[in-house]
Structure 1
């Protein structure tokens, strides 16, 4: 029974790893397409930030899938060696996720601040309309 469960988990690990790869590939292609569009049409350095944010989101999701596959891999009767490897890999991937998520949040905040600056504050809009 344990062998059957191990075989099923191994199949699931392959599927989840394939999903991770697919998410990262789709994200890279999507970001590359947006990069080309921005480079050709807009030529605005600030527009590249949205491309980075998009790629970052896909990478975060891909890393989450990879972490899930690592957890699945050790789901059936793990050895201490496998648990140690999982702990190391999970720590590294969690740190990558945390730093990438933090960078994405900072980029979003900068984009929002730039957007507010270009649109002006609500009080500034009222003053402009009144004159």
Structure 2
């Protein structure tokens, strides 16, 4: 097996891991949400926790997908065109990651966490 074939296989395996993370996260999050609904927990809080869990699974899966793209682009075909396509893909996924982070945490990733109760 040649180097490019190995890198293509590794990149595909990392991509598959990213998809698996998202699917498993969605299944686990959905099961937890349904369990909380069956236990008659508050709908608003249950829904918020469901969205946060699902968002975290998507963020982690996106990180794997970006890693797979980097492996394939840099190791297999490092042309200006492929690097440009990779840059666009990374930019779109980074935007999605930032958007999800803002949605989940209510703040930009570089901002400090707010304390639950500010004194005074």
TM-score bucket (shorter structure): 0.7 to 0.9
Counterpart check, 1:78 vs 2:90: no
Counterpart check, 1:17 vs 2:15: yes
The answer for the alignment partner of 2:47 in structure 1 is: 48
User: Per residue, is there more helix in 1 or in 2?
Assistant: 1
The answer for the alignment partner of 1:63 in structure 2 is: 62
Matched pairs, number? 113
Unaligned runs of 5+ in 2: 108-112
Task: Check whether the contact 2:74–2:83 (CA below 8 A) recurs between aligned residues.
Answer: no
Q: CA deviation at 1:33?
A: 0.3
Q: CA deviation at 1:62?
A: 0.1
Structure 1 distance, partners of 2:40, 2:56, is 22
Q: CA deviation at 1:96?
A: 0.4
- RMSD between superposed Cα atoms in Å: 2.4
Task: Check whether the contact 2:25–2:54 (CA below 8 A) recurs between aligned residues.
Answer: yes
Q: Which has the larger radius of gyration?
A: 1
What TM-score does the superposition give when structure 1 sets the normalisation length?
A: 0.76
1:75 alignment partner, SS class: helix
What TM-score does the superposition give when structure 2 sets the normalisation length?
A: 0.82
Structure 2 distance, partners of 1:22, 1:70, is 16
Matches within 5 A, 1:1-131: 4-44=2-42, 45-76=44-75, 77-106=77-106, 113=116
Task: Check whether the contact 2:59–2:100 (CA below 8 A) recurs between aligned residues.
Answer: yes
Task: Check whether the contact 1:27–1:55 (CA below 8 A) recurs between aligned residues.
Answer: yes
Q: CA deviation at 1:106?
A: 1.7
